[in-house]
Structures are given as structure tokens and as C-alpha cells.
Amino acid sequence: MCGIIGYVGGREAVPILIKGLEHLEYRGYDSAGIACLSPDCSGFFVCKEQGKIGELKARLNGVPTQANSGIGHTRWATHGAPSKTNAHPHLGQNGRVAVVHNGIIENYAELKSELKRKGCCFKSDTDTEVAAHLIESYYHGDLGGAMRRAAARIQGFFAFVAMAKAEPNRVCALKRSNPLVVGVGKGENFVASDVSALLPYTNKVMYLEDDEFVELTRECVNVSRLKDGKPVRKQIATVSWKAEEASKGDFPHFMLKEIFEQPAVLRRTLQTYVKKTGGIAFDTLDRKVKDHVKRTGKIFVVSCGTAYHAGLVGRYLFEAYARVPTEAHVSSEFRYSDPIISKNDTAVFITQSGETADTLAALREAKRKGARTLAIVNVAGSTIAREADAVVYTLAGPEIGVASTKAYLGQLLTLALFALYVGGLRKRLSQSAIRGFTREASKLPDKVREILGTSESVDSAAGALFTKGNFLFLGRGYNFPNALEGALKLKEISYAHAHGYAAGEMKHGPIALIDETQPVVCLVPKGTKTYTKMLSNMEEILARRGIIISIATKGDRAVQRLSRHVFWIPDTLEIFSPILTAVPLQLFAYKIATLNHRDVDQPRNLAKSVTVE
């Protein structure tokens, strides 16, 4: 989704804007642009390009701007095709105001007709240009005042950053629903869609709330309420992530780097939530939340995409170990299904970014209906982390690759520990049983490392199958969600069609697909309740000459006999098995995508942080 950066300070603005945009690339975009102002007020220098930031950089090469302030944008098209003309920033009618925007202006058609009647000429097909003309039409020397008046007319959700030609040392921004973070520097200040764009410059940040307005100069950051200008006192938070964590290092892609970071993510999660005694503690939860969870009548787990697959595993976990009736929902369906929720229920929202619009809307709906809300979030300070009643952080660090990998493993382990913890609170599990589980969990980082060190079988299977256009993934129980996840990973980065299915359902339809050309990935770790049933399903595939690729426990001859390719994983308890089976699935998708020369980190049409519904 669109990425925004704004800068005001004493340094040359263009390289800062470009670097900020590069750190926002992972959000997904189709064009990019900047506008900056030099102190002589001679007018905006605007440069935009369709395609990658590299194209924009090439156009800027050697152009002297001497600007110390500016705004920049990466666009993910909503209104109007991806093109240079539709790229942001957009200027008002007389070039006195420049605007970048993330979000959707729902009443843009009505505003556009009104502005056209007043003589505005539109150059682009975007809703954002409407905001630029509107702000300029209200501009009489005070950018803040003009933005407030414009915001009062705009329906929808948005984050705007704007500058006025006559005020070169001032950048103003406001937001409703879409994220904006202020970066506080020394003699310079920043605003951006997320902290990753700020990390190269500062780790001191202020998270803006909805309907807040901020004015940045070199020396000051003033936040006020949008509606009446009343000053708001904000806390400055310190971000613990390092700029290096958000860089690729020696890896060819962020996705591969993040897959290899997974042992460290699991270790950090264990160090944070498992005590030296082997018990589990979630210290960020206060007594009220713990009491509520202890008595809760029902749990709703709500999330999107990969996080939804973690939610499905969560459902099995909460039912099995905490004995709480649990439903898992896709956020976009949950919100509109008029869910039957009571005050006694707990709604758990899982999200890497903490900004996914559907999940945020679902959270607000659950709160409106009186449920206690808990967010399992990776990005500290994100909107969902701030709005939920309680937060449990996944400790994956910045995830830049669009395809979620390390955040998913972090979610799976955090959910497993949390379900065991709730089981303990509700006296469904003894502390010694919990210690048994955490003893096994402590071995997971090394087990994942072992899988990463023996991935030749994944390479050879991918080499044999990368031209196939259709894959089926089958699993049961705790590994059924991973069949969905394996298929999602493959399709989103390789563009091959892939379908995940509950293996027991195969005979009710998908078996018709099986012939000697059909690859079927079977998740069949040993020691699960459904192991023998999985073997029977594999026999059925083999009888129809399907190509079986299995993920199996080391040394499992029965599986090996049925399979063309096997990805071995170490033995573990059933509840942790998805943490291990996910890893070869990620590597398989990665390998197939790279053999097909796909843009693994930024697959077409996708965005990392989906801030529109």
C-alpha cells in the first residue's frame, strides 16, 4: 500500500526522501515521486516515475535542488491506473500546495465536480489530486488551517502530508484510519507511514492517533486535534529495532534472510515468554485481562492471509489445551457477519503489521459489541497494538519481504505458548505438564536450524517441478492450516496456482485433479492423531499416479515409499509440528519462485501492509 515520507531539517532533502522511500518499498507500489522546496520559495521541484524507485533515482541523478524539506510517496494504485501522471505528489491548481496521500477519498467524485465548477483543471485520475486542489482552495497563508478545512469535507480514510510553496520550512500531516509516525530528530524532523522509513535517521518516534494533526519544522513538532486545534501532548517512544535489521545483508532476498532468521525469532520468543523454571508468563497482561481470559466463555481468533492460518492453528490450540470453545475467522468476513459476541468473550486479533484495515475494522466491531480484545502483533506502536485492550508481541523484528515467513513462525509459537498459559490459568493443564511442553519448545530453534541446513531435497524437488502450473497441498489437524499456508506462499510469490485442502476432504472433490502430472504436497509428520489417515490419503494419490512431495519426520520409511520427493523434519510434539512443517514449505515456494525469475520480495499486485478494506 502507499508509503509516505516527509522531511524538514538542515540536510539535503532529496537523498533522505529517496532512502525513506526505499525503506517503504516493501509495502508494495507501482510508482514513486517526490516534491521538495528550496529556501528561496521559487516553487516545487517535482519528480515522479512509474515503476521502481531506481527509475526515480535515475531521473534525479545530478539534478541540484538544494532543498531542505520535501515529501515523497510510493503509490499502490486504487483510483487511476499506475502511471507517471497518477503518481504522487499532486499539486493544487496554481502549484502553491503539494500533497501525498495514503487511503481512499470516498466522496472524491462529488468534490471533484465542485472543484471543476470553480475552475480547477485535473491532470490525473486520482482521488488525491482532489485533496490537493481542495487544500489549495482553502489556502490563505496557513497550510494547517487549509488542511483542517479540507479534512472536514473529506469522507473516507486517509493520511495526508502536505507542504505549501510559501512555507518552505514547514511540513504538515494529518490522519484518519491510515498510519502516520513522526520521527523526532535533532534539528530535523520526519513523518512517515511506518518506522522502517525513519530507522536510518532516528529511533525516537511519536505515533499519531486518528484525527490528529501535526506540524513539523526543523526545531518543533506540534501535535493538535484536527477538529479544533487543541494541542495534544504526545509521548516520545524509543523503537528497539535497528536499521540493519531492515536490510538484506548478504542474502539475495529479504524473504530468504527472514526464513533464516527464524531460529533467532523462536529463541527470542522462548526467552521472553518462558521462565527459567519452565513455566510460561505474559507479563504485559494485567490482572484484569488475566481474570477475563480465565473466565472467558468463548474465543474468537480473527486475522487475514498468513495470520489467518496462524489463527486456524490457534483455534485447535485453544480448544485442545485451554478447553475454550474457539472460532477462527477471516477479518473481512467477521466484520460483516454480525457476529454473536458477548461481554464474556475474548477476541484475539493476529497481525504482523498491526495496520491491516480489515483486521482493524474487525477489532473495532468486537469492541463495539463489548468483547475483551487482545492483539498478537509484531509491530510495536501500530494501530491495532494501540487500540486493543491488551497486546502480546510476536518478536520477529522487521519483516520486509511481502510474503510473511518469520512473523508466521513467531505467531505459531506465541499462540502455542499462550494457549498453554491459558490452559494453566483455567486449571486445565498442570504446571508440570506445561514444563513438559516448554522443554520440547526449547529445542525448536535448533530443529528449525537443522531443516535450514538440509534443504537440498527442496532444491531438487523445486528443480523438477518449477514449470508446473498447478499444485495441491494436503494436511490434517494442526497441519491443515499449513496446507493452506504452503499453497498461499507458493501462489503469491511464484504465481503458480496452488490449492490447500484438508486431506480428508480430497475424496470429496479434488481427487478428480489427480493424474500423473499433478504434484501433491503432503504434510505428514509422525506422531500426530491423523498420521495413518494421511498415509491412506497418500496411497489414494499414488494409486492415481500423482506426484507426491512429502514433509515427513526423519527416517519415516512408510512415507518415503509413497513419495517422489521427501523434505525431512526432526521429530517434535504434535502441537509444535506446524512450526517445523512450515519451513520446507517456505523454502519450496522461494525456490520455485526464484527459478521462475519472480520478484520474490515484491510480488506483483501485493502489498505488505494492506491499509484498505
Binding residues for ligand F6R, rule: CB under 6 A, are: 304-307, 351-353, 356, 359, 403-404, 488, 492, 610
Copy the grid coordinates of residue 111.
468534490
Q: How far apart are CA 198 and CA 185, in angstroms?
A: 10
Separation between Cα atoms, residue 254 and residue 345, nearest integer Å: 38
Backbone angles phi, psi at 273, to 5 degrees: -110, -10
Q: Which residue has the cell 505467531?
A: 411
- Which residue, 274 or 403, is less far from ligand F6R as judged by CB? 403
* Beta strand ranges found along 195-236 (DSSP E): 204-207, 212-216, 221-225
Q: At its nearest, how many Å lie between ligand F6R and the CB of residue 334? A: 13
* Phi and psi torsions of 234, nearest 5°: -110, 150
Contact 484, 304 (CB under 8 A): no
Q: For ligand F6R, give the closer residue by CB, 74 or 353.
A: 353
Query: Residue 303 burial by CB count (10 A; 0-12/13-18/19+): exposed, middle or buried?
Result: buried
Q: Give min distance, CB of 398 to ligand F6R, in A.
A: 12
- Among all residues, whose Cβ is closest to ligand F6R? 305
Least separation in angstroms between CB 359 and ligand F6R: 5
Q: How far is the CB of 251 from ligand F6R (least distance, A)?
A: 18
Cβ distance to ligand F6R smaller for residue 305 or 500: 305
The DSSP-derived string for 387-429 is: HSSEEEE-------SSS-SHHHHHHHHHHHHHHHHHHHHTTSS
Beta bridge partners of 362: none
Q: Shortest Cβ distance from residue 490 to ligand F6R (Å)?
A: 11
Which residue, 146 or 496, has its beta carbon nearer to ligand F6R?
Answer: 496
* Closest C-alpha among 312, 308, 257, 350 to residue 488: 308
Nearer to ligand F6R, 16 or 523 (CB): 523
Q: Are 521 and 486 in contact (CB under 8 A)?
A: yes
Report, in Å, the least distance between residue 606 CB and ligand F6R: 8
Which alpha helices (DSSP H) does 275-405 contain, by range?
A: 287-295, 305-317, 331-334, 357-368, 383-387
- Closest CA relative to residue 144, chosen from 238, 39, 80, 215: 215
**Secondary element (H or E) of residue 89:** none
- Kindly provide the b/e burial profile for residues 391-410, where b requires at least 16 CB atoms within 10 angstroms of the residue's own CB: bbbbbbbbbbbbbbbbbbbb
Residue with cell 545530478: 62
SS3 300: strand
* Closest distance to ligand F6R from the beta carbon of 353 (Å): 3
Handedness of CA 292, 295, 297, 302 (dihedral sign): positive
Q: How far is the CB of 481 from ligand F6R (least distance, A)?
A: 12
DSSP class of residue 119?
A: T
Which helix (H) or strand (E) segment is 65 a member of? none
Helix (H, G, I), strand (E, B) or coil at 515: coil
Q: Among residues 137 and 359, whose Cβ is nearest to ligand F6R?
A: 359
Closer to ligand F6R by Cβ: residue 352 or 518: 352
| Comparison of 306 and 438: residue with beta carbon closer to ligand F6R | 306
Tell me the catalytic residues.
Answer: 2, 608
Q: Are 101 and 160 in contact (CB under 8 A)?
A: yes
Least Cβ distance, residue 579 to ligand F6R (angstroms): 16
Q: Which is nearer to ligand F6R, 270 or 362 (CB)?
A: 362
Which of 368, 359, 371 has the alpha carbon at shortest distance from 331? 359
